[in-house]
Amino acid sequence: MTSPAVLVSQLFGAASSGSHGAKLDIAGWHWPLLIAIISAMLLVDILVIHRNAHEVHTKEAAIESAVWIGFGLVFALFILWEFGTTAAGEYMGGYLIEKSLSVDNVFVWAVLFAHFQVPKMYQHRVLFWGIFGALAMRIAFIFAGVAIINTFKVTLIFFGLFLLYSGIKLLQTHDEGFDPSKSRAMRIFHRFVPSTDELDGQKLFTMKNGKRLATPLLAVLVLVEITDVVFAIDSVPAVLAVTKEQYIAFASNAFAILGLRALYFLLADMRDRFKYLQTGLGVILAFVGVKMTISYWWHMPIAISLSVIALILAVSIFASLRDEGALQ
């Protein structure tokens, strides 16, 4: 039996093997196991850990973030054990890309909650259902994306150029104030869904004067789901630039997304401290766009992808903290 230490060593050495990507032999139990693990973690989270509404403080968020990351790494070891080093390297690449690109999503959530004045004790319930919806949408996006790429390989070039364009746009975009309640999505929502401006605990619907009305939490949830679709348009092709295996793509996305709620409570108030993070994310998008474009002719080793992405993240965070004086 291979020891855990050897497995970890193989995992981080995965990059050097498999120049043409992993090819998985998926057994009948692999998908049910993955879905069962994700479902069990979600149920424990909502029925045990966050059964009662409460404000999530920094210490609790830090512990939960570490636990979610730990689960993601443990599943990486399972991928390594079951499918080999190339598959494990692709999983880690997809996980790192999704985790880093999701940081911007976290800050958008912070703006939404602040604008709609959602009490912190109710925010986790909204994000729980937001994550649940995100998982469903991601698996649909991933299967569709892989099917398109497998059928029309030339779409690699178009996806890659789209990511490159998205990265350049992100580098050119500056923060601008916006009013979520005046967005087109909210105008449509209020037109078709009877709503109230009053909260009723952490309920999405309430009864008022004999009528069933949506609370502001449902409106926020709708916006959370819409923002995830927008971010998925960038992140799913970025992950597919690392792996063409649906199982790896979804697993890496799922474990990265599951930890976003804890990451939100950890980072929501720290956006100003990471002033160069958006620049780093733009560079990452541009890099994976180039990688995906050239993969039509040449598959970049996963070691290079992992190293470049990790380096860009580290440099942007280090530069942000240094500029704030936190490292002096």
Q: How large is the average pLDDT for residues 103-117?
A: 75
Give the model's pLDDT for residue 2: 45
pLDDT at 80 over 80: yes
Domain coverage including residue 246: 4-15+29-324
Does pLDDT of 12 surpass 60?
no
CA distances from 177 to 111, 112, 174, 288, 318 (A): 10, 12, 10, 29, 27
Asked if the structure places residue 21 within a domain, the reply is no
**Which residues are 170's β-sheet partners?**
none
Query: What is the predicted pLDDT for the residue at 68?
Result: 93
Q: For residues 232 and 267, give the distance between their C-alpha atoms in angstroms, rounded to a whole number.
A: 20
pLDDT at 31 (0 to 100): 95
Say which residue, 179 or 99, is predicted with more confidence: 99
Please say whether the beta carbons of 235 and 145 come within 8 A: no
- Of the given ranges (3-12, 43-52, 175-184, 264-273), which has the lowest mean pLDDT? 3-12
pLDDT band of residue 301 (cuts 50, 70, 90) is: confident
Kindly state the average pLDDT of the residues 269-281.
71
* Residue 24 lies inside a defined structural domain of this protein: no
Q: Is residue 20 part of a domain?
A: no
In whole angstroms, give the CA distance from residue 105 to residue 93: 19
Q: What is the pLDDT of residue 14?
A: 40
Confidence category of residue 243, pLDDT binned at 50, 70, 90: confident
Please give the full DSSP string across 216-258, using - where no structure is assigned: HHHHHHHHHHHHHHHHHHHHHHHHHTT---HHHHHHHHHHHHH
* Whether pLDDT at 326 is above 50: yes
Task: Express each pLDDT in 95-107 by its tens digit.
Answer: 988 888 777 677 7
SS3 category, 260: helix
Q: Residue 87 pLDDT more than 50?
A: yes
In the chain, what percentage of residues exceed pLDDT 90? 17
- Give whole-number Cα distances, 249 to 42, 131, 200, 260, in Å: 19, 17, 38, 17
CB 283 within 8 A of CB 167: yes
- Domain count within the chain: 1
Domain membership of residue 313 (yes or no) is yes
| Confidence category of residue 252, pLDDT binned at 50, 70, 90 | very high
Over residues 82-86, the mean pLDDT reads: 91
Mean pLDDT, the chain, integer: 79
Predicted local confidence at residue 18, as pLDDT: 40
Residue 73: the pLDDT is 95
Q: How confident is the model at residue 187 (pLDDT cuts 50, 70, 90)?
A: confident
Residue 234 lies in a domain: yes
